[in-house]
Every structure is written in C-alpha cells, then in structure tokens.
Amino acid sequence: MSISNHNGPFLRRTKIVCTIGPSTGSPGMIRELIRAGMDVARINFSHGTHKEHANYIKALRRAAKQSDLPLAILQDLPGPKNRIGKLKN
C-alpha cells in the first residue's frame, strides 16, 4: 500500500508537511513529494522574494492538479520583530 493511497480502508489522520524552498521547489521535486505523500506544502515567508513565493505556489497548484490529489499550501508569515536602535530625529 502506498502512503499516498487515500482510498484504502484506513484514512490517515495525520498530515505530512514539507517545507518548500530552493532545494525542494522545482516542479520535479514537488511532484516527487506529492507522490511520497505530502499533504501540506509550507512556504516560509521570512525568506525569499514575492516572485519566488508566487512561483512556488504556481508550481504547487499545477503539480496538485496533475496528480489529482488534494494539497494544502501553508504560508508561514514572519512574526513580530523587536527593532532596537536610535530613531532619526
């Protein structure tokens, strides 16, 4: 039984979350992760550019549609940051 088989007698209640970034963001790698059972793709918005994030989202949606498997996209936003220093004026 494949881990990505959602039609078996036992439905997984846990989710497999994979962080998408430079080493995992290629279309081929995303397809492999989906085949291996990825349920949620996490994009860390603390790193990278808006364009990179948009490209990851497009690739994830395309791969999920081609695989005909559900895939959630988690956008991990940076939290509050303490800024210490003197302000101008």
pLDDT digits (tens, 9 = 90+) for 36-61: 999 999 999 999 999 999 999 999 99
**Domain extents in the chain:** 17-76
User: pLDDT by residue for the chain (89 residues), tens digit each?
Assistant: 455 555 566 677 899 999 999 999 999 999 999 999 999 999 999 999 999 999 999 999 999 999 999 999 999 998 887 778 887 87
From 38, 23, 28, 32, select the one nearest 74 (Cα to Cα). Answer: 38
- pTM score: 0.76
DSSP 26-89: SHHHHHHHHHHT--EEEEETTSS-HHHHHHHHHHHHHHHHHHT---EEEEE--------SPPP-
Tokens at residue 51, please?
A: 């364009």
